[in-house]
Amino acid sequence: MGSGPRPSADPGMTFKIISLALLASVMAGAAISVAPAQTDYRSVGQPRTDATEADRKIFAAGLRQFSRAWDEHDGVGERFNEHSCVGCHSVPAPGGSGSAANTFVLVSKDISDMGGGHVFQRLQRTANGVAELPAPSGASKRKPPSLFGLGLLDAVALQQPTASAPGPDKIIGRIGGKATQPGRFGWKARVPDLKTFTATAFAQELGIARKPAEEIYPDIAIAEVAAFVRLLGRQSAIWTSIPRQASEFSQRSAARSATRRL
């Protein structure tokens, strides 16, 4: 071996070697398969964990009404949106939302429905069966809400808001409920309680309007579905903290309003 001076290292070559090593490391990491996150839906669509045995029987009766199909023999009118509650609320379990195109609700500012909203009823019964009507010009789509945990919201002590802002579709809302019973469900939270919320869905989506006072049906079905929704949900630390957090927020808002008045 010679004892003469060795040639100096090439900085460019060193940089290339380091870059190749880093690239190989990244490619090796990318080759490692990562298992997708799994969501446990086993408790979704079941009664809340605080439900009693009596509650579970009420839940089962309401689920039967929620899952059944309704037709003209049940009082369905000429216009409606679905045959059953689960037609729009089935993902990932009864009481959830919907993902199919026909589960989206069409609304238009040119429509005034019997519930004070703007829901377009897309299905019409004819002599030849049920036909789907074309959507009105300018109508927008709204995804059906998930119903999990609404019973907990129904139990929250809320205060009446002072104003209702218009949405991007230029439909001007109104304050729901009363000063003693603020709105909390439905479009712009104008429906005060779950039973009224359910009755509105029966009228707008199923096409079943409430009958005169001497008739008790479909009020029985409405009450049973409302009880089902009230008990529906996945009980967890997040859900159980909602009433307390909402009550605290309402109290802070009231204190700020009182301070501004002073």
pLDDT score for 260? 43
Residue 246, both tokens: 């909402």
Q: Token pair of 125, please?
A: 């019964």
Both tokens of 208, joined, read 């079943």
Confidence band for 80, pLDDT divided at 50, 70 and 90: very high
Neighbours of 88 (CB within 10 A): 22
What does the pLDDT look like over 201-237, one tens digit per residue? 999 999 998 665 656 668 899 999 999 999 997 544 3
Domain layout of the chain by residue ranges? 53-161+174-257
Q: In the prediction, which pLDDT does 117 show?
A: 80
Task: Show the beta-strand stretches assigned E in the chain.
Answer: 79-80, 105-107, 119-120, 123-126, 129-132, 140-142, 177-178, 181-182
More confident of the two residues 214 and 182: 182
- Name, in order, each residue with C-beta under 8 angstroms of 114's C-beta and a sequence gap of 6 or more: 203, 204, 209
Highest averaged pLDDT of the listed ranges 40-49, 53-62, 104-113: 53-62
Kindly calculate the radius of gyration of the chain based on its CA atoms and give it in whole angstroms.
28
| pLDDT over 80 (residue 8) | no
Q: Give the pLDDT confidence of 138-165 residue by residue, as tens digits.
A: 999 999 999 998 998 888 877 665 555 5
Angle separating helix axes 194-204 and 219-231, nearest 10 degrees: 120
pLDDT at 257: 44
